[in-house]
Amino acid sequence: MENVPSPRVVITGVGVVTPLGNDPNKLITDLRGRASGVAALTQVPRGVLSIDFGAEASDFSGDISDYGPMDKKLQRTIRKGSKVMCREIEMGVAVAQLALTDAGLTPEDRDRDRTGVLYGCDYIMSLPEEFAVGIGKCTDDEGNFDFTKWGDQGKPEINPLWLLKYLPNMPASHIAIYNDLRGPNNSITVREASAGAAIAEAYSTISRGHADVLIVGSTGSRIHPLRSLHADMQETLAANRSDPTKMSRPFDAQRDGSVLGEGAGAMVCETLEHAQARGATILGEIVGYGSSAVGPAFGKTFLQTAIRNVLRAALGDEPAENIGHIHAHGLGTVECDAQESAAIEAVFGSADKQPPVTTAKGNLGNLGAGGGMVETIASLKALGGELFPILNCDSLSDDCPINACVDGSTAAGSQFINVNVTPQGQASAVRIRSFS
Residue type, 65: S
Q: What count of other Cβ atoms lies within 10 Å of the Cβ of residue 146?
A: 12
At 97-115, the pLDDT tens digits run 999 999 999 999 999 999 9
Buried-state track 55-94, b at ≥16 Cβ within 10 A, e below 16:
bbbeebeeebebbbebeeeeeebbeebbebbbbbbbbbbb
At 391-404, the pLDDT tens digits run 999 999 999 999 99
Whole-prediction pTM value? 0.96
Residue-level length of the chain = 436
Domains within the chain, CATH numbers bracketed: 14-127+161-277 (3.40.47.10), 128-157 (no CATH), 289-433 (3.40.47.10)
Q: What count of other Cβ atoms lies within 10 Å of the Cβ of residue 145?
A: 12
> Residues in the chain with pLDDT < 50?
1
Query: Residue 4 half-sphere exposure, CB side, CA atoms within 13 Å?
Result: 6
- The phi and psi torsions of 314 (rounded to 5 degrees) equal -65, -35
Rounded CA-CA distance 168/121 in Å is 6
Rounded CA-CA distance 205/202 in Å is 5
Rounded CA-CA distance 418/435 in Å is 17
Rounded CA-CA distance 310/283 in Å is 24
pLDDT on residue 1: 43
Q: Evaluate whether 269 touches 203 at the Cβ level (below 8 Å).
A: yes
